[in-house]
């Protein structure tokens, strides 16, 4: 699709007129008001300052009620692309034939379970699958199985992790229990430091085994303390890469070291692949394989159903046998014929279209492009990822005050000048009590949010996450192309030049007004087009 003028249609091109009429009749303000009235009062909404009314999806694109196109860089639910025709056909055909609960004998679910298991290394491939409806259900069931197998009760997890919205899983999700509305850490939950090679206690490169060994040693020491206090850990839950924790790639050897410590105390190891698995890393089907380990249980969700409610728990045979304790397992919708048909279709698309190799190639280009932009923009403190799982930390340059003065800004620069001290404080929160000369620059949440907003306004969707809300994250559909990478990088570079978060604006001689729909000030798109030239040229 041809590039669109940032002035005349900054969000994309309209769909054919006959497809627009019904969608264009949506009153967005009224829809927002009605949603707030009838849905749960704390149900989250993307881009809350200016919500999108999305009416159609195709491949890596979403379309709003006005027909504008958005490049979807973050919706990792639709793994093989929005409305993939083979997935749609499989769902429609099975739904028109039979859909019932999973207690009846049906060949599709058996075939799908067999084929899904074939993507795992031994001994998991010789184990079994439990089908459920969501990643939260999968992690809840994994907890039940772990307790049945070990006879222990406690759980070890990684700080800032998220494992689901059920009461059981929120309890070992610091991402939830440590924040507003959370009840804090339960006595039976044991939190291990986040193994971030950029902002944690042990810094360096995630590829350095020494960094992984240092974090694993810290985890083992904490687990030893737990055992010494008389508590037994039934399982260690960890994403194979940390998503909500800030797109963190685990340092080399980390899982191997922690798994050994957990198993030495009689616990088992659970790999949460709900957000990071199913070929997204490119080099392997499952991200835990990059750590050269084999878990006892693997939980799957989001991508395996391409948006259809489907999730799974893959379990080693000997662990699953412990769960066969006389209480039968039943899930009304888990593994129903339509879910199984959809899952089988998604799996075949990943294989037939070579999406692992594509993730490796396209994801590599995306990371390389982020790093190239980071060379010119000190606000990008770190770029990390594997395949089509990429994150960029947005930071305050350590010379922020000097840069502000050089730019002709004036005002109270004390806050800007304290960036180094703030970085050291945050590093201390991450596990380092000592003052460090190599402390990374302080997180810059406002700028990260401004970048995400501006990129959305220009037709590219990214998200912001992480412990300090400063990580731009990308987890696009696996059909993302090299052309999409070029467009994403172009818009990222433009946003870095144009975004003006409130803190930065306060330093300006004539601060730009903040639009009513946003708490950020951004330059007009017309000026953006004039300043930046062609929108989608190669870097």
242 plus 377 within the same structural domain: no
Res 436 pLDDT > 80: no
Q: Is the separation of the CB atoms in 334 and 102 below 8 Å?
A: yes
Q: Is the model's pLDDT at 21 over the cut of 60?
A: no
Domain total of the chain: 2
pLDDT band at 501 (very low <50, low <70, confident <90, very high): low
Same domain, 450 and 376: yes
Tell whether 380 is covered by a domain: yes
* Domain-located, residue 102: no
Q: Are strands 499-500 and 521-522 parallel, antiparallel or unpaired?
A: antiparallel
CATH of the domain at 171: 3.40.640.10
pLDDT at 142 over 70: yes
pLDDT computed for residue 190 by the predictor: 97
Q: Are residues 365 and 293 in the same domain?
A: no
Q: What sign results for the dihedral spanned by CA atoms 123, 257, 139, 148?
A: positive
What is the reported pLDDT for 517?
34
pLDDT the model gives residue 377: 93
Average pLDDT value for the chain: 85
pLDDT for position 18: 53
Q: Which of 300, 321, 345 is the last residue of a domain?
A: 300
The confidence score (pLDDT) of residue 532 equals: 35
Residues near 116 by beta carbon (within 8 Å), at least 6 away in sequence: 129, 304, 312, 314, 343, 347
Would residue 503 count as lying in a domain? yes
Helical spans, DSSP H, in 52-134: 85-95, 107-117
Higher pLDDT, 21 or 47: 47
Query: What would the 3-class secondary structure string for 214-237 be?
Result: HHHHHHHHHHHHHHHCCCCEEEEE
Q: Are residues 143 and 287 in the same domain?
A: yes
Tell me which of 300, 320, 344 is where a domain ends.
300
Cα 539 to Cα 536: distance, rounded to the nearest angstrom: 9
Q: How far apart are CA 79 and CA 47, in angstroms?
A: 22
pLDDT mean over 454-466: 95
What pLDDT sits at residue 225?
Answer: 96
pLDDT higher than threshold 50 for residue 427:
no
Question: Is residue 188 in a domain?
Answer: yes
Write the pLDDT tens digit of every residue in 466-485: 999 999 999 999 999 999 99
DSSP state of 248: B
Give CA–CA dist 430/218, Å, rounded: 13
DSSP string, 94-109: HHTT----TTS--HHH
d(CA 223, CA 231): 10
Question: Of 389, 376, 369, nearest to 276 (Cα)?
Answer: 389
Do 229 and 157 belong together in one domain? yes
Check whether 290 has a pLDDT greater than 60: yes
pLDDT at 539: 30
Query: What pLDDT, in 10s, does the model give residues 166-225?
Result: 989 999 898 887 878 888 888 999 999 999 999 999 999 999 999 999 999 999 999 999
CATH number at residue 520: 3.90.1150.10
The residue among 252, 283, 300 that closes a domain is 300
Q: With pLDDT > 70 as the criterion, what percentage of the chain qualifies?
A: 81
Same-domain check for residues 243 and 368: no
pLDDT (mean) for 15-26? 60
Statement to judge: residues 139 and 288 lie in one domain = yes
Q: Are residues 175 and 292 in the same domain?
A: yes
Residue 110 has pLDDT above 90, yes or no: yes
**CB-neighbour burial class of residue 17 (10 A; exposed 0-12, middle 13-18, buried 19+):** exposed
**pTM for the full model?**
0.85
Has residue 408 been placed in a domain? no
Contact 201, 218 (CB under 8 A): yes
- Residue 206 resides in a domain: yes
Predicted local confidence at residue 46, as pLDDT = 86
Whether residue 141 is contained in a domain is answered as yes
Q: Closest Cα partner for 201 from 466, 442, 432, 443?
A: 432
Are residues 292 and 362 part of one domain?
Answer: no
- 504 and 361 fall within a common domain: yes
Residue 248 counted as domain residue: yes
Beta bridge partners of 392: 383, 472
375 with 231, same domain? no
Domain assignment of residue 211, given as a range: 135-300
**pLDDT band (50, 70, 90) for residue 49:** confident
**Is residue 524 within 8 Å of residue 457, measured between CB atoms?**
no
């Amino acid at each position: 699709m041809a590039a669109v003028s940032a002035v005349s249609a900054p969000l994309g091109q309209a769909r054919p007129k006959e497809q627009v009429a019904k969608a264009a009749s949506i009153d967005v303000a009224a829809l927002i008001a009605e949603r707030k009235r009838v849905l749960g009062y704390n149900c989250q909404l993307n881009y809350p300052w200016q919500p999108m009314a999305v009416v159609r999806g195709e491949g890596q694109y979403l379309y709003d009620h006005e027909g504008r196109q958005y490049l979807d860089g973050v919706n990792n639910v639709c793994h093989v692309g929005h409305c993939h025709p083979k997935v749609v056909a499989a769902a429609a055909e099975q739904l028109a034939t039979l859909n019932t609960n999973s207690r009846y004998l049906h060949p599709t679910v058996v075939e799908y379970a067999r084929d899904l298991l074939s993507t795992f290394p031994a001994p998991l491939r010789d184990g079994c699958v439990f089908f459920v409806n969501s990643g939260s259900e999968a992690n809840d069931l994994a907890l039940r199985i772990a307790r049945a197998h070990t006879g222990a009760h406690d759980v070890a997890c990684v700080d800032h992790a998220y494992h689901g919205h059920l009461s059981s899983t929120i309890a070992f999700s610091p991402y939830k229990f440590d924040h507003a509305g959370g009840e804090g850490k339960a006595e039976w939950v044991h939190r291990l430091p986040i193994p971030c090679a950029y902002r944690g206690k042990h810094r360096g490169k995630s590829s350095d085994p020494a960094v992984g060994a240092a974090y694993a040693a810290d985890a083992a020491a904490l687990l030893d303390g737990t055992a010494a206090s008389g508590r037994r850990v039934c399982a260690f839950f960890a994403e194979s890469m940390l998503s909500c924790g800030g797109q963190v790639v685990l340092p080399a050897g980390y899982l191997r070291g922690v798994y050994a410590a957990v198993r030495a105390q009689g616990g088992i190891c659970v790999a949460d692949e709900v957000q990071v698995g199913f070929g997204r890393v490119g080099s392997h089907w499952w991200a835990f394989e990059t750590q050269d380990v084999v878990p006892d249980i693997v939980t799957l969700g989001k991508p395996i159903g391409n948006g259809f409610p489907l999730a799974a728990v893959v379990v080693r045979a000997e662990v699953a046998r412990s769960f066969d304790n006389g209480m039968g397992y039943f899930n009304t919708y888990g593994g129903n014929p339509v879910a199984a048909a959809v899952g089988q279709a998604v799996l075949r698309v990943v294989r037939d279209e070579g999406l692992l190799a594509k993730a490796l190639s396209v994801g590599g280009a995306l990371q390389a492009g982020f790093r190239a932009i980071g060379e010119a923009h000190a606000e990008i403190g770190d770029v990390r990822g594997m395949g089509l799982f990429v994150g960029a930390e947005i930071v305050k340059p350590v010379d922020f005050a000097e840069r502000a003065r050089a730019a002709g800004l004036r005002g109270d620069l004390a806050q800007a000048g304290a960036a180094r001290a703030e970085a050291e404080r945050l590093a201390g929160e991450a596990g380092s009590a000592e003052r460090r000369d190599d402390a990374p620059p302080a997180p810059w949440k406002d700028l990260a949010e401004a970048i995400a907003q501006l990129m959305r306004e220009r037709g590219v969707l990214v998200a912001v996450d992480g412990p300090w809300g400063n990580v731009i994250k990308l987890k696009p559909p696996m059909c993302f192309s090299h052309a999409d990478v070029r467009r994403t990088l172009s818009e990222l570079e433009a946003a870095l030049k144009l975004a003006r978060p409130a803190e930065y604006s306060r330093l300006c001689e004539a601060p730009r007004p903040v639009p009513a729909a946003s708490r950020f000030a951004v330059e007009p798109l017309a000026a953006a087009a004039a300043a930046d030239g062609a929108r989608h040229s190669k870097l």
